[in-house]
Structure 1
């Protein structure tokens, strides 16, 4: 065997620019390497020729050619390498049984077990023909393995242009298996680099069984978005009947795209959809969604519009538009498949402008909230406009005194029931002064605080409800004074030794005490629009709130360093290990006492417990206890975790009780109990099962049952779900089946 190594000068790099580039490189580099064969004539007794002018390699890169036989025929200008031919250059490698090259015509031929490899891409063939001068070529009985699991085969693969190839009697799949889970076989196919693969007379196979036939079929062969039809959606429901939906996806520019949709419901008619998305910059983006249907069930036209837009403006101002409008209050309930959307009974539209500073922010908003509940009589609350200026807590001229404030200037209007209509202007100014004082270092902090409030109304309660009356302005002054004490803090540290992962544990106790005074105020003369108009009661309030928080903190070695230390892979000392602080558990209990009440002075006792025994598990309990009815009025228990990254679970149990007064005695009126359970399990790294259930335990009703199944194959994904939901005391059932093929996307999507 002859084996020679040459070093040449700088030459254009062999780079793979995309998935199809390996084919182009195969033809180009094989002819280039073949033209190097005459170099061996220098070392062969029969060699008579000089180096061909078409070869331009200089020192710098290593080119290795080996073969059992190397020959040159002068009269035919023919170079031949035979027997285990191997040519390597940079990251590329060519193998063949025989390689021939005609220097004058530029024709080259590789025969027998032809393999071209570069990076992750591979071409194999029985025979390859190509011409370097014309940039054309052909491989026979070839296989193309491209980057990111693209597998193409063809009895003939012909290069007809710089970026265009024809495949005859070939196949395509993304499955890396001798017997692929799916593949498409076609009589003829055309591949356009960075564009599409088109095929004629194509048959889709599943495990070798023909399933579907396409006279003409095409799909994109690059990762960027592509304009085209999406796979139809098929569904069925008790109210809308059988449905078929089609969508057309349009790539307008790199920063814009749109989806046009049409769905036919056998019971409702034709529904048309438009979704337009755009991103112009990091601060300017948006989505517009429009839906229209001429409902044949009641012969009405129904429309739904949603638009979110964010716009960067001069002077660092951010503008936002959020349009939420429908011509029919039941539109989402009838046509949405999302439970939250179907049960939502409010529409919230607004336009806002925000400017943030280091310590301040300004927000100007125009807002309208429509109530869709049947008994609301089309109630709508409007803020046209509302200007909010907020200042964070900051020192006053370097003094120990701190100030923060919120100012709102609003013009408010409520439409709906005649008895609830309102229209008035309001200015609310709310500064808060505080003077924190640290005692005993930072173990004890005493903070007196004074919250001042001045509110001006352009109309009082009577004239705000009746615009025909002359406006009578009014104003309100109010304040809240408080004194807070945090500490003293007590702690004890338990030392477990440096040879344990948990080296220390700190038990921390933090008591707190505060006193709050609220003067009485008569608010009957002020219009009632939101919480700003309800700051107190007619009687003064003097409350003391007391509580204590306990925490368990662990100082431990990080998992990475502890594993290295235990396995002894390298010599480590205990004091060199990285450590971290973790909260193992916390418990808080608090209550307040009202000095002004004649009875029932004590508030509910509020408690919360959080325990994280392991990194993957968390247990929380929150409870409110009323001492006068001797019962918990609010209880919330949650337990969630992950078992070996295979099993996830979340369990939440809630109980609440409403109270009523009978014969001047407080009693429990009604009890509500709910249970939410969600879990998922992964089997064999591919199969996933999930379940979510929501239950009304008190009324013995199932609010939702959602069963899910996912299978993730090497080249395909199957997702299925079955849902039963309680909507307006009626059970709504549905299913969803989605099959996606790798690189091709959604093959079919059925809902019912």
Structure 2
């Protein structure tokens, strides 16, 4: 009787726990014979982190082997497998698929083929394999191979590989060897082949070197058929979670050195070209170094560092070829116990004027600061700062400049109504001219200044609305008097001056009143939906008001943002007029449509408008158009029209750019085409350029 009940249990029970690996088997029909369990019909085998679905499964409890057929689907923590027939070992994690596929979640990556075998989790072998990172069906692009062998932490070998686009072959490689390792490995990267009108054809093979767990280097010798051998090197490193950096170098001995230059500042092409870029962020010592060999470096063939930014979103964005200067900075900074110390330097290379020696330098600059602190047992606050720097101006004036400043204040608050803060600030500065002494009448200049002032601030809040919104008003007023100890400048005395070398050196007597009013409309979380600020300064010396300074920002929802700044005041023969203003407006939606408008105006010399639109079309296509118009010069600075296709695993960007003729060159029109594949980067980059009546073709093929 007990034997009959046990047999019925194995025949009809839909869940059988197996002690070896704690697997559960569920099916319409289950039979057990010795160490084997045979399940038929809607079979589900469940283990820790593993689920197998199939029509028919045979499970060996002793060896932990599973044979499955009919609609097999195996789910693991990192991926899943599907096949017509499947073998799986729960202990070793071996697997063999017939007419199946493997999908890895993290990549994503899908491998399908007639036969796929996995030994453990570190060795794959396959026949008639197709690989793709695309999730759509059919895949936008894939790679098909007759056979595949991938030892993880070794080198994968692939035979007879074809690149397919929508299952249409477009490229064939008889053999491919690449590292299939979890750790980075030194070796050769994808070759770089290209063509440019200024440098001819270029051929290069990047050499990748692993220098440690957190450092690597890429060296790329490239032959430019018209210009010579160009060598680039990029060293990258990371010291810890916060500190990282890179060093990038370019060097070329130009075969065209001495030839006439077109569209450049210099008359001839330089014989040597080099570019240095070094950057380090995080930690007490940071730097950003940018140096080029001559003023025309970016106007000639340009740099091979990074990728071009095609589309602009603001009229203040700058093209690389339009750079007027190149700034390098370095700073060491430390702080503690309310004190801070920094040692910094700055170098500005002028790219707009011929003559490489016309640079601006602040090397070095030392600054020490005591942050504001309270005087014990009193409400008095005090702070101080001292600095010294060696200055080399763009006019070749060399000097040592020292500054010292101390402030004492007595803030008084009447909560929750207002805060009153009177203060006194003492400032000392001197300048010692060490070179070009003929520019000024004296070599040494010293001054002592004092500033006395008081500020009054408050904040008012409205009751919250039913939705939690409220209005915040923050008016403020300040008065300040600043003068030089011993008498202010005498305009009739030509010797009564102070060298104006740095920006901000032009101090003068001031007695001002500053009024401002800030308004905020905030939602229930405190986020500003709309804010408006307006302020104005009155001078008791000139007895006149300066221009109003106004700013409005509006961001009520995710699809709309706007900003406007304006400087306006009284003008002759009219009540009020704008001196300068700028505006930005952006509209977007979930489909990917965008409309953006940027405007910049200065009464003296600037009137720019940048407008752009992006429209999402069908099948992941989108169209873009943008243009910038200079109303002062009465011409378009540029216009771009583009068509983009963007999907999960590849993208195409086709656009046309037109720039007007200038004193440095004729009108220029360029058509670009870029094709990017997920995992391979930009595999095609083509361009056709037309300058005046000359057509220039260019082709680049780059892999990452």
Aligned mates of 2:421, 2:89 — CA distance in 1: 87
Does 1:301 pair with 2:272? yes
Helix, strand or coil at the partner of 2:379? coil
1:460-514 CA distances to partner (integer Å, 9 max, x unpaired)? 8874869xxxx98634223243433536x69684x6x86x4256545x3725252
Aligned mates of 1:219, 1:172 — CA distance in 2: 15
Q: Which residue in the other structure is 2:323 paired with?
A: 344
Asked whether the 8 Å contact 2:23–2:45 carries over to 1, the reply is: no
Aligned mates of 1:722, 1:199 — CA distance in 2: 39
Aligned mates of 2:587, 2:205 — CA distance in 1: 39
Helix, strand or coil at the partner of 1:332? coil
Given the two structures, how large is their TM-score scaled by the length of structure 2? 0.78
Helix, strand or coil at the partner of 1:258? strand
Does 1:676 pair with 2:648? no
- In structure 2, relative to structure 1, the CA distance for the partners of 1:280 and 1:591 (3 Å cut) is closer
- In structure 2, relative to structure 1, the CA distance for the partners of 1:728 and 1:101 (3 Å cut) is same
Task: Tell me the matched-pair count.
Answer: 641
Aligned mates of 2:388, 2:50 — CA distance in 1: 71
From 631, 634, 649, the equivalent of 2:579 is: 634
1:222-272 CA distances to partner (integer Å, 9 max, x unpaired)? 787565555555665554455566544444433112222344445433322
Asked whether the 8 Å contact 1:652–1:676 carries over to 2, the reply is: yes
Q: Which residue in the other structure is 2:267 paired with?
A: none
The aligned runs of 1:243-262 (5 Å cut-off) are: 243=202, 247-262=206-221
Aligned mates of 1:369, 1:735 — CA distance in 2: 34
Q: Which residue in the other structure is 1:209 paired with?
A: 168
1:129-187 CA distances to partner (integer Å, 9 max, x unpaired)? 67899997643323223324422222222346762222112211223344222222211
From 374, 377, 398, the equivalent of 2:353 is: 374
Q: Which residue in the other structure is 2:507 paired with?
A: 535
Asked whether the 8 Å contact 1:461–1:527 carries over to 2, the reply is: no
Q: Which residue in the other structure is 1:450 paired with?
A: 424
**RMSD across aligned positions (CA):** 4.2
The aligned runs of 1:718-733 (5 Å cut-off) are: 718-725=652-659, 730=665, 731-733=667-669
From 544, 547, 567, the equivalent of 1:623 is: 567
Aligned mates of 2:571, 2:397 — CA distance in 1: 40
Name structure 1 gaps, 5 residues minimum. Answer: 1-39, 48-55, 313-317, 558-578, 659-670
Asked whether the 8 Å contact 2:451–2:482 carries over to 1, the reply is: yes
User: Could you say which structure has the larger radius of gyration?
Assistant: 1
Superposition deviation, residue 629 in structure 1: 6.7
From 633, 657, 680, the equivalent of 1:699 is: 633
1:555-580 CA distances to partner (integer Å, 9 max, x unpaired)? 644xxxxxxxxxxxxxxxxxxxxx54
Q: Which residue in the other structure is 2:299 paired with?
A: 333
Asked whether the 8 Å contact 2:162–2:170 carries over to 1, the reply is: yes
Given the two structures, how large is their TM-score scaled by the length of structure 1? 0.73
Quick check: 324-333 or 303-312, which moved more?
A: 303-312
From 677, 681, 687, the equivalent of 1:741 is: 677
- In structure 2, relative to structure 1, the CA distance for the partners of 1:739 and 1:41 (3 Å cut) is farther
Q: Which residue in the other structure is 2:548 paired with?
A: 606
1:391-414 CA distances to partner (integer Å, 9 max, x unpaired)? 333333343333332211223345
- In structure 2, relative to structure 1, the CA distance for the partners of 1:683 and 1:167 (3 Å cut) is same
Does 1:189 pair with 2:148? yes
From 90, 93, 104, the equivalent of 1:146 is: 104
Aligned mates of 2:199, 2:412 — CA distance in 1: 66
Higher fraction of helix: 1
- In structure 2, relative to structure 1, the CA distance for the partners of 1:64 and 1:110 (3 Å cut) is closer
1:583-638 CA distances to partner (integer Å, 9 max, x unpaired)? 5342414142353x5xxx52532231415272333242312335347474622141
Asked whether the 8 Å contact 1:262–1:270 carries over to 2, the reply is: yes
Helix, strand or coil at the partner of 1:297? coil
Aligned mates of 1:58, 1:736 — CA distance in 2: 64
- In structure 2, relative to structure 1, the CA distance for the partners of 1:59 and 1:228 (3 Å cut) is closer
Aligned mates of 1:108, 1:462 — CA distance in 2: 89
Q: Which residue in the other structure is 2:251 paired with?
A: 292
The aligned runs of 1:300-699 (5 Å cut-off) are: 300-309=271-280, 318-334=284-300, 335-336=302-303, 337=308, 339-375=318-354, 378-414=357-393, 420-438=395-413, 443=417, 445-459=419-433, 463=437, 474-486=444-456, 493=462, 500-501=466-467, 504-505=470-471, 508=473, 510=475, 512-519=477-484, 520-521=488-489, 526-531=498-503, 533-536=505-508, 541-549=509-517, 551=519, 553-554=520-521, 556-557=523-524, 580=526, 582=528, 584-595=530-541, 597=542, 601-612=543-554, 614-615=556-557, 616-628=560-572, 630=574, 632=577, 634-645=579-590, 646-658=592-604, 671-683=605-617, 686-699=620-633
Superposition deviation, residue 444 in structure 1: 5.1
The aligned runs of 1:112-151 (5 Å cut-off) are: 112-119=70-77, 121-128=79-86, 138-148=96-106, 149-151=108-110
Superposition deviation, residue 421 in structure 1: 3.2
Q: Which residue in the other structure is 1:6 paired with?
A: none
Name structure 2 gaps, 5 residues minimum. Answer: 11-16, 259-270, 310-317, 688-697, 699-704
- In structure 2, relative to structure 1, the CA distance for the partners of 1:91 and 1:204 (3 Å cut) is same
1:667-694 CA distances to partner (integer Å, 9 max, x unpaired)? xxxx431112244344569444444432
- In structure 2, relative to structure 1, the CA distance for the partners of 1:106 and 1:426 (3 Å cut) is closer
Asked whether the 8 Å contact 2:210–2:216 carries over to 1, the reply is: yes
